[in-house]
């Protein structure tokens, strides 16, 4: 269901001096509720242009574009919101609804069960969230070591030692997860096709053989770039070259 979040998180992410940005968000929310979707999208875009972001803001902007039947722009903003909060179910739900309107039905290459499990686990938190989790485990590890050093009974010292080792292991894994999520969030190698139709070529030349056609709204991974051409890979593994002017980076 397409609903509108009130972007309350901006109260915490915007500095006090940026009251104008918050007022724009409020006006955008009101315009959305009044059915003035183009005006709402314009106001939300102005907030983004000022340098402020939040998952709720991308969610609202995506909804406004969806209401305007600009599906590619809706998908782009849902994807950008998920980069900030990978576990957001509202963003994921609306992204799936928007994807149902696409011309292309690209079946992704099957992922091994442990890779899928890893992706789902890492996606539960952002890089900052995993970093905070790592710090929490590290502090618990220090408490465990204090318990070990100051315990007088052998059995308590034994269990506190193994508990501390387990907490250190969890802290290390959380730190690795934070690093992995940071790379995902900062890796701007994915994009959304923004032209109605583009033909992928076998080489970065207009006269090279055609490979396949990609339509507006499809998500692609960018694997290389030469001049005005970018090499893309689809979720099904197909690869080819298209003009980068038809692509918007997530």
Residue 11: what pLDDT?
A: 45
Prediction pTM value: 0.78
Tokens standing for residue 177:
């997860």
Among residues 249, 129, 118, the alpha carbon closest in space to that of 182 is found at 129
Q: What band does 21 get if pLDDT is binned at 50, 70 and 90?
A: confident
User: What CA–CA distance (Å, rounded) separates 237 from 113?
Assistant: 18
Residues 154 and 209 in one domain: no
Does residue 107 form part of some domain?
no
Average pLDDT on 51-58 reads 90
**Domain co-membership, 117 together with 93:** no
Domain boundary among 99, 129, 154: 99
In a domain, 179, yes or no: yes
**Residue 13's pLDDT band (cuts 50, 70, 90):** low
* Residue 87 and residue 134 in one domain: no
Q: Is residue 51 part of a domain?
A: yes
Task: Give 246's contacts (C-beta < 8 A, 6+ positions apart).
Answer: 193, 194, 195, 198
pLDDT in tens, 59-76: 999 999 999 999 999 999
Query: pLDDT by residue (tens digit) across 194-233?
Result: 999 999 999 999 999 999 999 999 999 999 999 999 999 9
Length of the chain: 250
Q: Residue 17's pLDDT band (boundaries 50, 70, 90)?
A: very low
Residue 31 lies in a domain: yes
Nearest in space to 246 (alpha carbons), one of 233, 221, 228? 228
Q: What share of the chain is helix, strand, coil (3-state, %, to 5)?
A: 55, 15, 30
SS3 228: coil
Question: Is the same domain home to 33 and 20?
Answer: yes
Average pLDDT over residues 28-53: 94
Strand ordering across the sheet containing 247-249: 210-215, 197-201, 239-243, 229-233, 219-226, 190-193, 247-249
Domain count, the chain: 3
Domain that holds residue 129: 113-186
Asked if 95 and 19 sit in the same domain, the reply is yes
Query: At 3, is the pLDDT very low, low, confident or very high (cuts 50, 70, 90)?
Result: low
């Amino acid at each position: 269901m397409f609903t509108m979040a009130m972007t309350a998180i901006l109260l915490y992410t915007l500095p006090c001096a940026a009251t104008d940005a918050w007022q724009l968000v409020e006006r955008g929310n009101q315009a959305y509720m009044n059915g003035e979707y183009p005006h709402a999208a314009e106001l939300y875009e102005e907030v983004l242009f000022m340098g402020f972001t939040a998952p709720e803001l991308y969610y609202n902007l995506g909804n406004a574009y969806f209401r305007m039947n600009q599906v590619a722009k809706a998908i782009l903003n849902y994807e950008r919101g998920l980069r900030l909060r990978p576990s957001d179910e509202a963003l994921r739900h609306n992204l799936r609804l928007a994807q149902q309107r696409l011309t292309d039905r690209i079946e992704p290459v099957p992922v091994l069960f442990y890779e899928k499990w890893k992706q789902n686990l890492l996606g539960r938190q952002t890089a900052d969230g995993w970093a905070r989790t790592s710090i929490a485990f590290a502090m618990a590890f220090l408490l465990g070591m204090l318990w070990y050093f100051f315990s007088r009974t052998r059995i308590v010292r034994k269990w506190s030692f193994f508990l501390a080792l387990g907490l250190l292991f969890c802290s290390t894994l959380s730190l690795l997860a934070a690093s992995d999520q940071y790379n995902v969030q900062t890796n701007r190698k994915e994009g959304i096709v923004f032209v109605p139709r583009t033909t992928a070529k076998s080489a970065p030349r207009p006269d090279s053989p055609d490979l396949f056609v990609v339509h507006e709204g499809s998500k692609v991974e960018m694997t290389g770039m030469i001049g005005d051409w970018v090499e893309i890979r689809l979720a099904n593994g197909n690869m080819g070259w298209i003009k980068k002017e038809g692509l918007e980076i997530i």
